[in-house]
Amino acid sequence: MIWADRIREEIKERFAGEIQAKKPLVIRDEKTLSGRVHVGSLRGILIHGLIAQVLQEEGISAKFLFELNEFDPMDGLPVYVDEKTYRPHMGKPLYTVPPSEPGHENYAMVFGDELRVVVDRLKLPIEFYTLRPLYLEGKFNGVIREALDHAAEIRAIYKEVSGGGKPDDWFPLSVICEKCGKIGTTQVIEWDGANVTYECKKNYVAWAEGCGHKGTVSPFDGNAKLPWKVEWPAKWKVLGVSIEGAGKDHSAAGGSRAIGSRISEEVFKYPNPYDIPYEFFNIAGKKMSASKGLGASAKEVSDLLPATLLKLLMIRTIPNRPIDFDPEGKTIPNLFDEYDRLADHYFKRHKEPDEDFARTFKLTHLNPLKEPEDVWQMRFTLLSFVLQMPHLDLLQEAAKLKGSELSIEEKQALEERAFYVREWLSSFAPAEYLYTILRDTPENFTIDPEQKVVFQKLITALQDPSLSWEGPAIHERIHAVKEEAGMEPKRLFTPLYQLFLGRTSGPQIGWFLSTFEKEDVLQRLRSIL
Ligand SMILES: [Zn+2]
């Protein structure tokens, strides 16, 4: 059983009562939109989305709410925004910061909109929402009151769980300064049961400067927000969350999840949701940060793969193992090959179909309600080779390989795959996958007398007019010559590749030679004798 189904079984057990009462299970995840969204967040989205999908498959009512958090303070400047323009906005709620690109509602939604485009491709059962309107509608008023009334308890939980306490006069609330509009710089100093008194402090945080204003205001209806470690469990209660996982950085002992769980149970009297801790998504073995602009955003990684493959990349690894993704290595070709292998298991082309492989294939499929269609696909490496050969027509070669014309769906699948292969060839493909056909026999080409004899035999075999000039037939002839001569395969194949490609290896030799005119091949072979 694969991990998503195992988790579904645990959820069914824990929430048996709710499921029986047809109460929808709320699954939640979020991202603060302080910059381009890192690909690691996409892993969280896929995990939660997949759980929603497998629950819905069994007719269990479940909805996956994904929060685009635009209410947190701007607390950092990514390298790709203009520092001079944005420095003065540090400390303000993100939704009040102007967008860094035209066409978006605010600064946060520049990144939120980009993420939505990426996620929409994956066709997950996901509902996006933004945080600020919930505060404005008063949905958080109750939990704000509870948090302020239990400030001392919350301080004690912080201290007990993380060791790092908050000062005795700290209240779990950030007010939007009525004078400068910043939220990251204010400290609540008094709560009288109706209003809070706050100070906008010059040096309250290192990343923003307050204006010195002191005021008294209602903490409700959007005037203020909870700090995120308290807000997290507050959201569970406000939205009725049953299931919510978190990345490794939050899940460590003494971390924010541990603090949130205790605040949830002890202050908000709300059960800790079912947790799915998940590991990092590492690019080329190193954890890259999107805020440093190093290029590992959800968008950049998703641009490298079709949606089904992106899903496969995210779900093939169990949540508590890291995903290592090296776009410059063999990861991408291997991923395509794996997809094709899983398809063989799903469509029972494999001798011993494996249930878990078939299941994984099914879940990468974009429409869970429809059975995946069995479409013929060209292998990634072969496709990448054909695309590099100016003398080859992709559709013709595909039809030859398949043995018949491609259906409309197969043509679409081929075009989609070809698009991603071209992108890969022009960006990340390692040298071993790059081919150029030599126009002439290479100058430094040599073979020994024994090889010459065998090559002469090969010419005789290939110039036979009864030989049909097609991959399998050519392949058979070459192997017959090799067998008859008792020659080590490498001693025959290596010079063949060198002769046409200037390198020691290449695609399957019979098919490769069939892509040239017969006379051209014979001429090239004769030139070395
Ligand atoms: Zn201020």
Question: Ligand 1 centre and the CA of 185: distance in Å?
Answer: 7
Q: Is the dihedral of CA 252, 52, 317, 310 positive or negative?
A: negative
Give CA separation, 192 vs 85, 145, 432, in Å.
39, 11, 71
The token pair at 196 is 């809070």
Question: Ligand 1 centre and the CA of 187: distance in Å?
Answer: 10
- Alpha carbon 200 to its chain centroid, in Å, reads 40
For 330-358, how does the pLDDT look when each residue is reduced to its tens digit (9 = 90+)? 889 999 999 999 999 999 999 999 999 99
Question: Ligand 1 centre and the CA of 324: distance in Å?
Answer: 44
CB atoms within 10 A of CB 453: 14
**Most confident residue range from 232-241, 393-402, 437-446, 487-496:** 232-241
Residue 291: pLDDT over 70: no
Degrees, nearest 5: CA angle 206-209-214: 125
- Tell me the one-letter amino acid at 475: H
Question: Ligand 1 centre and the CA of 471: distance in Å?
Answer: 76
CB atoms within 10 A of CB 18: 17
Question: Ligand 1 centre and the CA of 182: distance in Å?
Answer: 6
Query: At 136, is the secondary structure helix, strand, or coil?
Result: helix
CA distance 278 to 248: 6
pLDDT the model gives residue 529: 86
328: confidence class by pLDDT, cuts 50, 70, 90: confident
Question: Ligand 1 centre and the CA of 90: distance in Å?
Answer: 12
For 160-177, how does the pLDDT look when each residue is reduced to its tens digit (9 = 90+)? 998 878 899 999 999 999
Question: Ligand 1 centre and the CA of 72: distance in Å?
Answer: 16
Question: Ligand 1 centre and the CA of 174: distance in Å?
Answer: 12
294: confidence class by pLDDT, cuts 50, 70, 90: low
- Alpha carbon 271 to its chain centroid, in Å, reads 30
Question: Ligand 1 centre and the CA of 107: distance in Å?
Answer: 20
What phi, psi does 47 have (nearest 5°)? -60, -50
CA distance 110 to 78: 13
Question: Ligand 1 centre and the CA of 106: distance in Å?
Answer: 21
Residue 406: pLDDT over 80: yes
Question: Ligand 1 centre and the CA of 82: distance in Å?
Answer: 23
The token pair at 265 is 């149970």
Question: Ligand 1 centre and the CA of 198: distance in Å?
Answer: 10
For 473-492, how does the pLDDT look when each residue is reduced to its tens digit (9 = 90+)? 999 999 999 999 999 999 99
- Tell me the one-letter amino acid at 220: F
Residue 78: pLDDT over 60: yes
- Count of helix runs (H) and strand runs (E) in the chain: 23, 13
Positions of E strands within 86-150: 127-130
For 352-377, how does the pLDDT look when each residue is reduced to its tens digit (9 = 90+)? 999 999 999 999 998 777 889 999 99
CA distance 114 to 103: 12
Question: Ligand 1 centre and the CA of 91: distance in Å?
Answer: 9
Q: How many residues does the chain have?
A: 529
Percent of the chain with pLDDT over 70: 98
Question: Ligand 1 centre and the CA of 177: distance in Å?
Answer: 5
Question: Ligand 1 centre and the CA of 246: distance in Å?
Answer: 33
Residue 253 or residue 350, greater confidence: 350
Question: Ligand 1 centre and the CA of 180: distance in Å?
Answer: 4
pLDDT the model gives residue 300: 87
Question: Ligand 1 centre and the CA of 148: distance in Å?
Answer: 21
CA distance 143 to 150: 10
CB atoms within 10 A of CB 520: 12
pLDDT the model gives residue 47: 97
Q: What is the mean pLDDT of the chain?
A: 94
274: confidence class by pLDDT, cuts 50, 70, 90: very high
Angle between helices 489-501 and 449-463 (to 10 degrees): 70
Question: Ligand 1 centre and the CA of 133: distance in Å?
Answer: 22
CB 98 within 8 A of CB 107: yes
pLDDT the model gives residue 253: 85
Question: Ligand 1 centre and the CA of 36: distance in Å?
Answer: 27
Question: Ligand 1 centre and the CA of 413: distance in Å?
Answer: 56
Question: Ligand 1 centre and the CA of 127: distance in Å?
Answer: 35
For 127-162, how does the pLDDT look when each residue is reduced to its tens digit (9 = 90+)? 999 999 999 999 999 999 999 999 999 999 999 998
Lowest mean pLDDT among 7-11, 289-293, 341-345, 353-357: 289-293
Per the DSSP assignment, residues forming a β-bridge with 253 are none
Question: Ligand 1 centre and the CA of 112: distance in Å?
Answer: 27
CB 522 within 8 A of CB 529: no
Question: Ligand 1 centre and the CA of 89: distance in Å?
Answer: 12
Mention every residue, 6+ apart, whose C-beta is less than 8 A from residue 164. Answer: 158
Neighbours of ion ligand 1 (CB under 5 A): 177, 179-180, 200, 210-211, 213
Question: Ligand 1 centre and the CA of 214: distance in Å?
Answer: 8
Residue 394: pLDDT over 80: yes
Question: Ligand 1 centre and the CA of 186: distance in Å?
Answer: 7
This prediction's pTM: 0.90
498: confidence class by pLDDT, cuts 50, 70, 90: very high
Rounded average pLDDT over 311-334: 91
Mention every residue, 6+ apart, whose C-beta is less than 8 A from residue 286. Answer: none
CA distance 307 to 169: 50
Question: Ligand 1 centre and the CA of 73: distance in Å?
Answer: 13
CA distance 296 to 289: 7
Question: Ligand 1 centre and the CA of 181: distance in Å?
Answer: 6
Q: How far apart are the first and last CA of the chain?
A: 60
Question: Ligand 1 centre and the CA of 474: distance in Å?
Answer: 80
CB atoms within 10 A of CB 182: 27
Question: Ligand 1 centre and the CA of 512: distance in Å?
Answer: 71
CA distance 67 to 286: 27
Residue 2: pLDDT over 70: yes
Nearest CA to 389 among 220, 514, 203?
A: 514
pLDDT the model gives residue 254: 87
pLDDT the model gives residue 35: 93
CA distance 357 to 341: 8
Sheet holding 25-32, edge to edge: 127-130, 62-69, 25-32, 241-243
CB 26 within 8 A of CB 65: yes
Question: Ligand 1 centre and the CA of 207: distance in Å?
Answer: 14
Percent of the chain with pLDDT over 90: 84
Question: Ligand 1 centre and the CA of 411: distance in Å?
Answer: 60
Query: At 251, is the secondary structure helix, strand, or coil?
Result: helix
